[in-house]
Amino acid sequence: MFTGIITGVGRIAAVHAISSLEPTGSSTSVPDQFGKRLLITAPNGYLNDVGLGDSIAINGACMTVTSFDADKNEFTIDISAESLQKTANLAQLGTALNLEKALRANDRLGGHIVSGHVDGIGRISYFASVGESWELRILCPTGLGKFIAYKGSITVNGVSLTVNKVVDALMQNNLQTELSINLIPHTLENTALGGLQTGDYVNLEVDTVARYVERMLSFEKIS
């Protein structure tokens, strides 16, 4: 479990293929049908309290630490081919990553309850400065719009954010939802969101409470 409060920004330093058919080796282009092992650099001291098997959210996706070197500030994670298909930009060399260690029982819940399970991939439709802040608009994948609410919480690449505006519109006979978020300078300076551009894809996780409400309502309709 996580909170969506980023504790460090890392970067993908190497990508390796995980396959019995292909030797493991550093590559900038690994076939998509294979899982991948990532070598990730972390900030100085970030891994001092990390152990093998610990969970770290990588751009919002919960992953398991498979090896680490605290002195070099490096750790590895393994991602299955299925996880790669359902997330965005988690295996591209050089990609900046939002990192968050798993929540401890005595930690502050500074953001909202985040599971680290990506619900869908959104596309940035607009990203520009508005005064001292930045407005970020994201087109949600079909089916996620019903979980997005004004002043509700959403996780974007692992960052807990508040929805400022929701617009639903029919586009090519499909109901499309665009959400708008206001990003303050602190968020841009302390996460990897500042490097995003219009057209980029991002990992989205909706509020856990919204998931359960939708399930209860749909169950009542068929019972």
Reported pTM: 0.90
Return the closest-CA partner of residue 139 out of 158, 113, 118, 166.
166
Q: What is the largest CA-CA distance in the chain?
A: 57
Instruction: Tell me the sheet residues that pair with 123.
Output: 139, 201
Q: Over the stretch 76-92, which tens digit does the pLDDT of each residue have?
A: 999 999 999 999 999 99
If you write DSSP's letter for every residue of 53-79 in order, what string do you get? Answer: T-EEEETTEEEEEEEEETTTTEEEEEE
Q: What is the pLDDT along the chain (223 residues), one digit of tens a residue?
A: 999 999 999 999 999 988 643 444 444 454 556 799 999 999 999 999 999 999 999 999 999 999 999 999 999 999 999 999 999 999 999 999 999 999 988 888 888 999 999 999 999 999 999 999 999 999 999 889 999 999 999 999 999 999 999 999 887 778 889 999 999 999 999 999 999 999 999 999 999 988 888 888 888 777 6
- Which residues lie closer than 8 Å to 77 by C-beta, 6 or more apart? 37, 38, 40, 56, 58, 63, 64, 65, 66
